[in-house]
Amino acid sequence: MKSPREPNTEEELPSQRPADEHIQLKVPVIQQLYHWDCGLACARMVLQYLNQLSEEKFQKALQDLHLNKSIWTIDLAYLVCHFGVKHRLYTQTLGVDKGYKNQSFYRKHFDSEEDRVNQLFVQAKARGVLVEKCTVTVQDLQQHLAQGHIAIVLVNAVLLLCDLCSRPVKYCCFLPIGQKCFCRSPDYQGHFIVLCGYNKSSGSIFYNNPAYADRTCRTSISNFEEARQSYGTDEDVLFIYVDS
């Protein structure tokens, strides 16, 4: 299968630089405010990492793009594109997988969102949003990080386990203290994280989890792969390039 390539205005060429043994990029941690805005928190991290975060402009972009409480990966691609950020979204499904209609995580908004999201994919090229149906490997991600780039990854938070946190994330309780959990025990809980490093010798992946405001998390490659390849994620990875 094809490997992801860095966008180029003239042609796309795969990077030949080998990934270093250890990379941990200093990506700022920004906590989500509600149960639904983890993707927007990740976008804020990306823009701050690129020194492009202005809250006033960010809020204006949300209005211009009509983003509300249902945020898909394609929405994040449109959002970073709005700020002129070099990017490419890799996914297994160019649109909405109809099978998600039966999943509890997607069921509530599926009917209202299906046409909107499919239209975003149809219009992506004309809007300058780069999308490709492609499998992304861990080696691709490591090579990307080794060049100082970062990525937003959609994972199943039910499966993602941090080695450094004293207790597992309450995967359905990404809410301010005191608010009631919005779900019970789902099989799938979509959640966005920002990939920011790895250690080859220990087989570790570093990421910023917007559920927290004070830490970078770490998990094993095997756990990361299980969480990001879970049914429901479409294996979505939004590559972000620093030379934007």
pLDDT(128) > 60: yes
User: What is d(CA 236, CA 165) in angstroms, rounded to the nearest whole number?
Assistant: 25
Band (43; pLDDT cuts 50, 70, 90): very high
Q: Which residues contact 108 (CB under 8 A, 6 or more apart)?
A: none
Q: Is residue 2 part of a domain?
A: no
Task: List the single range of 105-109, 172-176, 184-188, 192-196 with lowest mean pLDDT.
Answer: 172-176
- Interval 81-101: pLDDT, tens: 999 999 999 999 988 866 565
Q: Is residue 10 part of a domain?
A: no
Q: Which residues contact 39 (CB under 8 A, 6 or more apart)?
A: 71, 72, 73, 75, 76, 152, 192
- Interval 135-177: pLDDT, tens: 999 999 999 999 999 999 999 998 999 998 865 554 444 444 4
Q: Is residue 78 part of a domain?
A: yes
- Interval 201-238: pLDDT, tens: 999 999 999 999 989 999 999 999 999 999 999 999 99
Q: Is residue 219 part of a domain?
A: yes
What pLDDT, on the 0 to 100 scale, is given for residue 2?
47
Closest Cα to residue 147, out of 86, 202, 84, 91?
A: 86
Q: Is residue 3 part of a domain?
A: no
pTM of the complete model: 0.85
pLDDT(200) > 80: yes
Q: Is residue 13 part of a domain?
A: no
User: What is d(CA 204, CA 224) in angstroms, rounded to the nearest whole number?
Assistant: 9
Mean pLDDT, all residues of the chain: 85
Q: Is residue 126 part of a domain?
A: yes
Residue length of the chain = 244
Q: Is residue 8 part of a domain?
A: no
What pLDDT, on the 0 to 100 scale, is given for residue 97?
67
What pLDDT, on the 0 to 100 scale, is given for residue 104?
58
Query: How many domains are contained in the chain?
Result: 1
- Provide the domain limits for residue 204: 22-240
Residue 209's domain is classified under what CATH number? 3.90.70.10
